[in-house]
Amino acid sequence: MITVNAMGDACPIPVIKAKKALQELEGPDVLEVLVDNEIAVQNVTKMASSSGGDVTSEKISEKEFKVIIRTDRTMPKRETQAMEEPVLCRTDKRKDTVVVISSDRMGEGNDELGAVLIKGFIFAVSQLDELPKAILFYNGGAKLTCEGSDSLEDLKSMEAQGVEIMTCGTCLDYYGLKEKLKVGTVTNMYSIVETMNQAGKIIRP
């Protein structure tokens, strides 16, 4: 693994450092980029995704974020040329939208299919050009932010890019999952209602 320390660097320096490190790779490798703000995570993620890398990110602390870029082969010339395009400092790409998830299944019918669908739904949200402002989890949806969830990596990546991941505390208590929460914060019904009330748009799977 190669580590690029871009802590304290203003845009476009984190992206430039990450691009340079990727261009110097001679084969499959893992690049770790350390930054101190969510906008840098968004910009590095966008650059790496457009170059063909497999990108995940994680919020380590309030001012510490990690972007992991995995390349499983030497990048073709086409992708290398694309990385040489001018670096643009994009503004926060979060949108005034709130996603509300109340079950660990999507739709009615087969539970196994429903579990596959909700995983695909969360992944699709993580790939949007404009991410939601927040994702709220309550009732059975609380299970998706806890240990064992197949969606943790996608949720952590969105959290690192500034998306608020909020899970109902009463629901966690009911399912005995309070100690197994792995992403985001515990919230209450007042905050859930307030967040939904202030949203420009609400999306429910």
Q: Encode pLDDT of 117-155 as tens digits.
A: 999 999 999 988 889 999 999 999 999 999 999 999 999
- The residue written with tokens 């299970």 in the block is 143
**Whole-number Cα distances in Å, 154 to 48, 56, 80, 126:** 16, 8, 26, 6
Q: Give the pLDDT of residue 85.
A: 56
Beta bridge partners of 98: 134, 202
Q: Which of 58, 71, 70 is nearest to 154 (CA)?
A: 58
Q: Which residues pair with 201 in a beta bridge?
A: 97
Percentage of the chain lying above the pLDDT 90 cut: 67
User: Given a cut of 80, is residue 191 above it in pLDDT?
Assistant: yes
In this predicted structure, the answer to whether residue 164 has a pLDDT above a threshold of 90 is: yes
- pTM (two decimals): 0.76
Where in the sequence numbering do the catalytic residues fall? 11
Alpha carbon distance 185, 77 (integer Å): 43
Stronger pLDDT, 195 or 62, i.e. the higher one? 195
